[in-house]
Amino acid sequence: LLRGVQRLNDEDCLFLSGCLKNKPVTGEQFTIRTHIGTFTSLHFECNRIRQPVEVWKRFCFSLQGNSSLLSLRLSGNKIGNRGTMYLAHMLQVNTGLQELELADSDLATQSVIALTIVLKSNRSLRSVDISRPLLFSHQEEWAVHCSEMLAMNSSLVELHLGKMGLTDAGMERLTAGLRFNHSLRYLDLRCNRVTRDGTQHLAGLLKENPSLQIIDLSSNRLEDEGAVYLSEAISWPGCGLKECSVNSNNIRTKGLLALTEAMKANTTLTHVYIWGNYLEEPAFRELMSGGRLLPERTDVSAYEVDGRVFLAEVFTKLRRRYYSYPAAGETTDSPVCTLQLHRT
């Protein structure tokens, strides 16, 4: 694990591309290869690429035949539309990559759609993050293609769609595809524009499909009505939800009490994060005092001053990742080695 290195430039990235090919290399490249070994994880976030088209073309070409790399994190690089197209083409050939992070990488509508199309047939990826793309269309075409992908894909277990501008209409499209999906466990929808209507579509999905275990709805617009819809789904027999975040959703006492009652009815849900709403102490007093909600599984703590009980934020958050490689029960022939190349 290499730490403390400065951001890489174009020449560094092109040189690294040669090391990613699963074939013997000579000269200086061979010396570096023998020192780092065959690595299974490449953390390449936030680097300084000035000519992205040629660099990402070479980089993706080198990954086509790579069978050892399992995790690739490229978030914070200005990959852009054309660079992502090369990535999509690489994913049509590469059958080893299991985790791909492309958050804040200047993805446009065309490249997001291209990735979802590839994921219809890709059977190796388990976790994908395409949060915060540059989407200027209000038609949410990407949601239509993502819905079709989710209906066909049977390998993804984790999908991050934060800061996508997702609306209630987009949520309706996504849930339509998720009704046919039984592999996804973690759905990240934070920082979107989902209101009570979109939450109603999600609640209907949770009643029908018990596969989803973790949902991040923080920083949306659920309000009390959305929280009530979500609570009804949580109370539904067979709901598989285990962890949920509804931080900063303008939820008041009515919605929080509904969540409280839902947790009484459903013992599967063990982690709830609610800070950033209009909190009043009675909403969670009974759950906390009765041991139903453990202190380390929420972001709210109660304290007493002069006989009055107040609530304070605890800095425990919904986990950011669900999938880890190799997955439980899986093994890899190569020693697990992470190459981290970004500014820390």
Q: Where are the domains of the chain?
A: 10-340
Going by pLDDT thresholds of 50, 70 and 90, the confidence category of residue 18 is: low
φ, ψ for residue 265, nearest 5 deg: -85, -25
> By the 8 A CB rule, do 118 and 153 touch?
no
Pairing of strands 41-43, 300-305: unpaired
> By the 8 A CB rule, do 71 and 99 touch?
yes
Q: Between 13 and 241, where is the model more confident?
A: 241
> What is the reported pLDDT for 66?
85
Separation in Å, CA 76 to CA 61, 95, 106, 208? 21, 24, 8, 36
> What is the reported pLDDT for 21?
67
Q: Residue 192 burial (CB < 10 Å; 0-12/13-18/19+)?
A: buried
> Measured between alpha carbons, how far is 143 from 148 in angstroms, rounded to an integer?
9
Q: What is the pTM of this model?
A: 0.87
Q: Between 185 and 27, where is the model more confident?
A: 185
> Measured between alpha carbons, how far is 184 from 112 in angstroms, rounded to an integer?
19
Q: Which H or E run includes 165?
A: none
**pLDDT of 124 above 80:** yes
Mean pLDDT across 288-295: 78
Mean pLDDT across 246-255: 94
> What is the reported pLDDT for 65?
83
> Measured between alpha carbons, how far is 23 from 46 in angstroms, rounded to an integer?
28
For domain 10-340, the CATH architecture is Alpha-Beta Horseshoe (3.80)
pLDDT in tens, 189-218: 999 999 999 999 999 999 999 999 999 999
Going by pLDDT thresholds of 50, 70 and 90, the confidence category of residue 223 is: very high
Q: Which H or E run includes 110?
A: helix 109-119
Mean pLDDT across 17-27: 56
**pLDDT of 329 above 60:** no
- On average, the pLDDT of the chain sits at 85
From the list 227, 277, 290, 234, the residue with the least C-alpha distance to 257 is 227
From the list 278, 266, 276, the residue with the least C-alpha distance to 298 is 276
Of the given ranges (55-64, 122-131, 187-196), which has the lowest mean pLDDT? 55-64
> By the 8 A CB rule, do 195 and 221 touch?
yes
Going by pLDDT thresholds of 50, 70 and 90, the confidence category of residue 336 is: very low
Q: Is the dihedral of CA 182, 188, 193, 195 positive or negative?
A: positive
From the list 22, 109, 28, 34, the residue with the least C-alpha distance to 68 is 22
* 3-state percent helix, strand, coil for the chain, nearest multiple of 5: 40, 10, 50
